[in-house]
Amino acid sequence: MLHVPDSIYQSLLEINNILVREVTPEGFFNSLAAILQSKIGCDRVSLTIYESATDSLAWFAKAAGIGVTCMDSGDAPLRGHLARNAIATAAPIVSLRLEDFADEEAIRLMVQAGLRSSMAFPLTSRGRTFGAVVVSFLRRIDEEETFLRDFMGKTCSQVALAVDNMVTHAKLNQQNEYLNQQVDTLLSGDDMLHSGSRFFFNCTTMQNLISQVRLLAISDAPVLICGETGTGKEFIARFIHRFSARASHNFIKVNCPALSPTLFESELFGHVKGAFTGASSKRLGRFELADKGSIFLDEIGDLDIVLQAKLLHVLQDARFERVGESRAVNIDTRCISATNADLRYLMCEGRFRRDLFYRLGVTTVQVPPLRDRENEVIPMLHYLIRVYAEDMHCAPPVFHPDTLKMLEDYHWPGNVRELSNLLARLLILHPGAKLGPEHVRPLLEQGQPFTPALPKAAVPSAPALMCQENVPASSSALADVEKAHIEHVLALVGGRVSGNKGAAKLLGLPRSTLQYKLRKHGITPRDFMKRGYPPVE
């Protein structure tokens, strides 16, 4: 029997007060169903949501009231459900005699449950219809149709706003959970590759370094990470961030060599809509994205000298202005930078600002090259080859003892990156094979730079440098010839190792490889220094 309220608006106010207190879909729907059963005497209430991606309906919560066999047990309403028609037409659907439509499976099941009349009302919010409320009765509702249309229409206007907000909130939570899972996956993958005694931390040198880095992570001081290419400077930077108080915020990497003068400010500081041609929307810069987190300036030594001044101001003032906007934006970010260059030498050449160097290098971390990590190469080799084999779904090769000895004695100018590259190529070329030195040596030689002959113009006429009598008596030994050749070139360039006029450039060697050879032969570049050339070792 219909319980007509004294005032529809009084009932709507009561509904609104109850619904705003509910925060979960189940609690919200159960309160709504109880109100409707009390106010209009309905015997069943359901609420469905339309999923546009799959063109399907889903239950917002389990239906209340009279149960319908085979319908309530499913994850979604059956085809022919009144809710679908209400959503499709964005208008109420009224069925005063359900038995007249019993050829539809959903309605036939409702009739079998004893229901005789039903009404479906669309839920519309922000200009779109996204769901429907269906109320069903064990009695005929012919005489009550007008009142029910009015009451349910007004009720569903309020319900639509609440449900839309709840569905949107649930989707955002789901997306956040997915992103958090992605982050956790990436971090766990990074841990698998870089942590444990089987990789970077196998040698005492790296274990001591990590202990130092853990202490640095606690403070908030800028950190400058130095080391040759491929030694793992970015890993150290991420390690510092992860063990700092900023770990829950962003770690933003900036590839400094890729920053051109025209894009520098837009990339680092962001821009507002209309700031320049093509700026169709506001864009946050790297520094703003790193607010409360850490910004990693990779290869800082390659940053143009003009851009270094702009960077210095941001680091000093902790504020900047977006391109096209005069309002200053304050930031709180920790700066971690890395370089494979000798910044002190660059300062002597006027290619790096002294004030920026002292701003970046409050604390400095020196990452040792792979050749200086005692007992590190072979454990790392076995670990990486197993990881790569699993990724490629093939059997890992087996290394002959002579091969392992050769790889252990190799100087690895490309460090961990070169080792990783070599192992990946070996796995592709020789999966599951037993690898002797003859398999590995050609690949190592391919990775070495070509050493050109000295240009004739570079050879001085003075009799002292590289004439026959200056070659050591043991010149038949390759090491002695190599040492004599390096000393000859150092004399030509006045002891300069790097740079366009340095010995490494003239020999066609990476600076790190030449430094290794200098230590190997006991050569001191200072001994060849000329006036006007800063010593570089």
Q: How many independent structural domains does the chain possess? A: 4
Please give the model's pTM, rounded to 2 decimal places: 0.52
Q: Which residues contact 358 (CB under 8 A, 6 or more apart)?
A: none
Q: Which residues of the chain have pLDDT under 70?
A: 1-7, 72-80, 174, 177-201, 447-478, 530-537
35 shares its domain with 126 = yes
433 shares its domain with 508 = no
324 shares its domain with 261 = yes
Cβ burial, residue 277 (10 Å; 0-12/13-18/19+)? exposed
256 shares its domain with 107 = no
Nearest to 507 by CA among 451, 448, 456: 451
Amino acid 530: pLDDT: 54
Q: Which residues contact 59 (CB under 8 A, 6 or more apart)?
A: 46, 47, 48, 49, 75, 76, 77
User: Does residue 38 belong to any structural domain of this protein?
Assistant: yes
HSE at residue 68, side-chain half, CA atoms within 13 A, is: 27
Phi, psi of 430 (to 5 degrees): -135, 60
**Mode of pairing for the β-strands spanning 328-330 and 334-339:** unpaired
pLDDT in tens, 398-408: 999 999 999 99
User: Does residue 536 belong to any structural domain of this protein?
Assistant: no
Amino acid 468: pLDDT: 38
145 shares its domain with 22 = yes
* Of the residues 368, 401, 417, the one at which a domain ends: 368
Match 């950190």 to its residue by tokens: 223
Residue 325 sits in a domain whose CATH number is 3.40.50.300
Q: What is the DSSP string of 408-471?
A: HHS--TTHHHHHHHHHHHHHHHSTTPEE-HHHHHHHHHHTSPP-PPPPGGGS-S-TTSSSGGGS
Contact 223, 240 (CB under 8 A): yes
* Cα separation values, 496 from 459, 499, 502, Å: 16, 8, 5
Range of the structural domain that residue 473 is part of: 456-528
346 shares its domain with 390 = no
Tokens of 145: 């149709």
Task: Enumerate the β-bridge partners of residue 95.
Answer: 118
In 11-96, at which residue ranges do the beta strands (DSSP E only) sit? 44-51, 56-59, 64-65, 93-95
Residue 381 sits in a domain whose CATH number is 1.10.8.60
State how far the Cα of 354 lies from the Cα of 346, in Å rounded to an integer: 9
* Cα separation values, 402 from 209, 407, 419, 422, 441, Å: 31, 9, 17, 17, 11
Amino acid 7: pLDDT: 62
User: Does residue 436 belong to any structural domain of this protein?
Assistant: yes
Reduce the DSSP state of residue 492 to 3 states and report it.
helix
User: Does residue 270 belong to any structural domain of this protein?
Assistant: yes
Q: Residues in the chain, how many?
A: 537
User: Does residue 67 belong to any structural domain of this protein?
Assistant: yes
Tokens of 160: 């639509």
**Mode of pairing for the β-strands spanning 117-125 and 93-95:** antiparallel
User: Does residue 433 belong to any structural domain of this protein?
Assistant: yes
Distance between first and last Cα of the chain: 97
Amino acid 189: pLDDT: 44
User: Does residue 151 belong to any structural domain of this protein?
Assistant: yes
Crossing angle for the helix pair 377-392 and 401-409, to the nearest 10 degrees: 120
pLDDT in tens, 149-185: 889 998 998 899 889 988 888 888 767 765 665 555 4
60 shares its domain with 201 = no
* Of the residues 446, 469, 504, the one at which a domain ends: 446
438 shares its domain with 476 = no
Tokens of 433: 């094979």
477 shares its domain with 401 = no
* Of the residues 368, 403, 433, the one at which a domain ends: 368
Contact 231, 246 (CB under 8 A): no
Q: Which helix (H) or strand (E) holds 218?
A: helix 204-218
User: Does residue 386 belong to any structural domain of this protein?
Assistant: yes
Cβ burial, residue 95 (10 Å; 0-12/13-18/19+)? buried
* Cα separation values, 489 from 14, 474, 504, 525, 531, Å: 92, 19, 9, 10, 16
315 shares its domain with 269 = yes
290 shares its domain with 165 = no
229 shares its domain with 204 = yes
Match 């880095």 to its residue by tokens: 213
Alpha helices in 285-341 (DSSP H): 286-289, 305-317
Phi, psi of 193 (to 5 degrees): -80, -30
Residue 79 sits in a domain whose CATH number is 3.30.450.40
